[in-house]
Amino acid sequence: MNRPLHLPDATKLSEVCEVTWPPASRQHLGAWTIRDGQGAGNRVSAATEDWPVTEADLPAAEAAMRALGQPPLFQIREGEEKLDALLEAHGYILRDPVNLWAVSVADLLKEPIPRAAAYTMWPPLELVREIWQDGGIGAARQAVMERATCPKAAILARMGDYPGGAAYVGLHDGIAMVHAIHVLPAQRRKGAGGLLLRAAAKWAEGHGAEILGLIVTQGNHAANPLYASLGMTRVGNYHYRIHPHAV
């Protein structure tokens, strides 16, 4: 009898994300972890609390992020309502609530991948980089992938004779995490997104992973229904708060 497969919670997926999509550097400062994102977006630039913070802890985090040339930005995870309230009281503005999704690799692979429809490689083909550029995944975000030291791959999906989309997948602790998904506008609603995820699952299976996860903004009204339709489970959420002067 097959043993039941338990999906990871939001804390575990966040841990995997930190390894597969790493900041340029991180430092522990009092109650905080401060990240240097070097222009690669919220996820690698946001500070997080290491233990419950107080009013007196906030200025140190703000100064550290400004010293890195970054606006003060905090990630608020489940259970951190006191931090959320503290930041809101200081005028911090809500930004980009996200969902964390996970699924069994075996479940994603129940539908076969058509022959010659998807390819995995590292380093990425120039075509993959061009697709990412089309989706606003530029040099700073591609640098995140380059510096990841985990097993990793770029994915290219084809729709017939044409490129359909690209993604990046990294592996940590038996979980494959998919990032940088972009489907070219001309190929949308044709199955390219699902094909990218199944190709990531196939790569993950070959590297011994049983779970595939990803993170997407709640406002992405195309992606979230797609992931639900593929049998993925929403295992958590978080959001950011950013200093009002940075907006």
Domain extents for the chain?
A: 10-98+238-246, 101-237
Sign of the alpha-carbon dihedral angle for 23, 11, 178, 208: positive
Assigned architecture for domain 101-237: 3-Layer(aba) Sandwich (3.40)
Report whether pLDDT(29) > 80. yes
Contact 181, 196 (CB under 8 A): yes
Query: Look-up: residue for tokens 């009002």?
Result: 244
Alpha helices in 9-162 (DSSP H): 10-20, 42-45, 58-67, 81-89, 105-108, 126-134, 139-147
Q: What is the pTM of this model?
A: 0.95
Q: What is the pLDDT of residue 1?
A: 35
pLDDT tens profile 119-137: 999 999 999 999 999 999 9
Q: What are the pLDDT digits (tens) for 87-113?
A: 999 999 999 999 999 999 999 999 999
Q: Are 184 and 164 in contact (CB under 8 A)?
A: yes
Q: Which residues contact 89 (CB under 8 A, 6 or more apart)?
A: none
pLDDT digits (tens, 9 = 90+) for 45-93: 999 999 999 999 999 999 999 999 999 999 999 999 999 999 999 999 9
